[in-house]
Structure 1
Amino acid sequence: MQSFEIHITVTQDDLDNLNHVNNVRYVQWVQDVAEQHWHAKATKSMLSDYFWILLKHTIEYKNPAVLGDVLKLKTYIKESGGLTCIRMVEIYNESTDKLLASSETKWCLVSQEYMKPTRITEEIRTLFS
């Protein structure tokens, strides 16, 4: 399993009325890190031939993040086969290494040409293993 990481500093715009990161922001970050991982690993041909759609999303909130916290978002593919893959995202406070949230998402590969779900190729599968 290859993981991919990005780092985010919590800003005022990320906060809710309780002065911690809004749950909706975590969901956006889960999508953002997945997209960045795909773009970092995929070839130009893959990017022009395929895209991913989200089928299912679950997230578990464990600890809050607040203004100024630096967060580490770590993602990896837990399993893939057929048309879909399961992606994990873990969000940590970088300075304490405390897990703040974890997410499991199910994605479906779609052909740009036919605009229909398509089987995950071995080439794509090996990008993330």
Structure 2
Amino acid sequence: METFEILITVTKDDLDELNHVNNVRYVQWVQDVAKEHWIAFASEEIRNNYFWIMLTHFIEYKRPAILNDVLKLKTYVVKAEGVTSTRVVEIINNKTNKLLAKSETTWCFINANTLKPARIPEEISKIFN
């Protein structure tokens, strides 16, 4: 399984009134790292003809992140069949290596021309496996 990782640093804009990262921000990061993974490995031609939409999203929060923490966002696809794929994102404190949050999201593959679900072709499945 192909993993993809990025590092981010928690900024003041990421915090809630408790000075922890706001839960909504984690959801944004899940979407951001999935998009970056897609852009990094899918050709421009593929990206122009297909896109993904989120169908279901589950996130489990384990520990808080605070200002200036450096976080590793690690993502990988655990299943891709038919028109859907299941992607996991782990958000890890890069200094302590402790898991802060973990998400599992089901994405639907969409044909950009018809705006309808499309079967995931083998060339796309190979990108992530």
Instruction: Say whether the fold is shared (TM-score over 0.5).
Output: yes
Per-residue deviation, 1:47: 0.5
Residue in 1 aligned with 2:59? 59
Per-residue deviation, 1:44: 1.2
CA distance in structure 2 between the aligned counterparts of 1:102 and 1:91, rounded to whole angstroms:
6
Per-residue deviation, 1:45: 1.1
Runs of 4+ in structure 1 over 2 Å off: none
Residue in 1 aligned with 2:112? 112
Aligned partner letter, 2:53: I
Residue in 2 aligned with 1:94? 94
Output the aligned Cα RMSD.
Answer: 0.4
Residue in 2 aligned with 1:40? 40
What is the TM-score with the length of structure 1 in the denominator? Answer: 0.99
CA distance in structure 2 between the aligned counterparts of 1:107 and 1:60, rounded to whole angstroms:
18
Q: Which runs of no fewer than 5 residues in structure 2 stay unpaired?
A: none
Per-residue deviation, 1:56: 0.3
CA distance in structure 2 between the aligned counterparts of 1:18 and 1:9, rounded to whole angstroms:
18
Give the SS at the match of 2:75: strand
Per-residue deviation, 1:46: 0.5
Per-residue deviation, 1:112: 0.7
Aligned partner letter, 2:127: L
Give the paired residue count: 129
% same residue: 61
What is the TM-score with the length of structure 2 in the denominator? Answer: 0.99
